[in-house]
Amino acid sequence: MTINTTKWSTRLAPFKTADNTQAVLEILLTIVPFTALWVLLWSLLQSGSWLGYIAFVLLLFPAGGFMVRMFILQHDCGHGSMFSSKIANDWVGRLLGVFTFTPYDYWRRLHAGHHATSGDLERRGMGDIDTLTLTEYKAKSASGKFLYRLYRNPFVMFGLGPAYMFLLRHRLPVGAMKEGLAGWGSTLATNAGILIVSLLMIKFAGLSAFFLIQLPVVVLGASIGVWLFYVQHQYEDTYWDTRPDWTHEHAALHGSSFYDLPKPIMWITGYIGIHHVHHLSSRIPFYKLPKVIEAHPELKDISRLKFWESLNCVRLALWDENARRLVSFRDAHRTLAAV
């Protein structure tokens, strides 16, 4: 479904105002349950019973969900939409970055690049999941094709990749020096904060509990977050184009999905599934995204994905310039063989 996008900026303007009281409430609704879950996980480890260990494993998943929600709070701070004050946004974002293992200032710059270039074939690689066109993949050497297929493997994309990114890559912003010292300063300050908080956790709960709770929760949250980011842009009928045909609003509506999940999951993931609206206007606070959908129900039918449909996105890996859709490696090989 294609709709007129010329007036969306004006139509969404009433939703762009931050509500400071609501922002504080959202932080409390995230931090308090996460802390309670952490303490409960720690107590289950001390139980010494198999039933306690089973409950421990099961509760890691909602804890990972709240880690994702914490990241969404930081994410909104980075867009300047969480609070009305820039100072509040920046310092709350930096503090949250210590718990999400994400250097706030460094990540914010990369993510701004993603919003500015999403769907633009000529400006890929800025905070995106690397995506090759069919032509580019064909031109790769055998080793280049192997490495790209390895990168796109689900075990790497949603398992090893997120763990590497959040535990290791975010600790050392290689390549950020050309942007000045800000990236390194943000990262080193975040690393120092992580070290202090980790030592406090270890003092309170013990070294083994820290490694069995905090690190798995961070990695699980990272994997869930990468999955959400993936399906928000890597679906079959997504949008890629070249300038001057590329436009921000069309890319936002048709290159970002509406990941229509059950309401409890939408809540715990900070409504980031309403991603096409978020890309239309990143200044809308996440807690107002459902109100946009209510006010403009026509947005419900654009780029809509249900959970079972989203599982099919895992096999998609290449942009077919002629068919103008994402295709699997198998489909790509058939197309190239036919040519």
Tens digits of residue pLDDT in 258-294: 999 999 999 999 999 999 999 999 999 999 999 999 9
pLDDT of residue 267: 97
pLDDT of residue 1: 43
Dist. CA 235–CA 255, nearest whole Å:
9
Strands (E), 275-335: 304-305, 316-320, 325-328
Q: Would you say residue 222 lies in a domain?
A: yes
Name residues of the chain where pLDDT drops below 70.
1-6, 174-183, 339
What is the per-residue DSSP string for 228-279?
A: HHHHTT-STT---B-TTT--HHHHHHHSS-EE---HHHHHHTTTTTBHHHHH
Q: Would you say residue 281 lies in a domain?
A: yes
Provide the number of structural domains found in the chain.
1
Q: How many alpha carbons fall within 13 Å on the CB side of residue 101?
A: 24
Q: Would you say residue 145 lies in a domain?
A: no
Q: Residue 74: give the domain boundaries.
A: 17-130+153-308
Q: Would you say residue 338 lies in a domain?
A: no
Q: Would you say residue 322 lies in a domain?
A: no
Q: Would you say residue 323 lies in a domain?
A: no
Question: Which pTM was predicted?
Answer: 0.91
Q: Would you say residue 125 lies in a domain?
A: yes
Q: Kindly tell me the burial class for residue 293, based on how many C-beta atoms sit within 10 Å of its own C-beta (0-12, 13-18, 19 or more).
A: middle
Q: Would you say residue 187 lies in a domain?
A: yes
